[in-house]
């Protein structure tokens, strides 16, 4: 959701989305003496979204090119499409 808000404010952003995972280990020290520390490891999924005004890796599966068109919602089911004038090199 945040990415879509940024893309609406800054015209011409390319987006690359990737997924991955990592292991996070949490360790707790006991408050009472004589107890052993507790250690747990959890496997966490993550999503990484990269936004750039410059073109990103074209071979990436999650690549969304910058849109040259902007869609305006005019009514309940009415849309207007206008071409954006934007220099993607600069």
pLDDT in tens, 6-41: 877 887 888 889 999 999 999 999 999 999 999 999
Q: Is residue 88 part of a domain?
A: no
Number of residues that make up the chain: 90
> What are residue 40's DSSP bridge partners?
26
Number of neighbours of residue 70 by Cβ within 10 angstroms: 13
> Is the pTM above the cut of 0.75?
no
Q: Is residue 48 part of a domain?
A: yes
Helical segments of 2-61, H only: 2-9
Q: Which domain holds residue 63?
A: 2-29+37-83
- pLDDT tens-digit readout, 40-77: 999 999 998 888 888 888 888 888 777 654 444 445 55
Q: Is residue 89 part of a domain?
A: no
């Amino acid at each position: 959701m945040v990415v879509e808000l940024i893309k609406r404010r800054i015209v011409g952003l390319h987006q690359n989305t990737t997924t991955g995972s990592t292991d996070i280990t949490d360790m707790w020290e006991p408050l009472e003496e004589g107890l052993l520390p507790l250690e747990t490891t959890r496997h966490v999924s993550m999503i990484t979204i990269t936004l750039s005004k410059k073109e990103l890796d074209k071979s990436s599966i999650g690549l969304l090119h910058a849109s040259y068109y902007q869609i305006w919602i005019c009514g309940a089911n009415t849309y207007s499409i206008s071409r954006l004038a934007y220099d993607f090199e600069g």
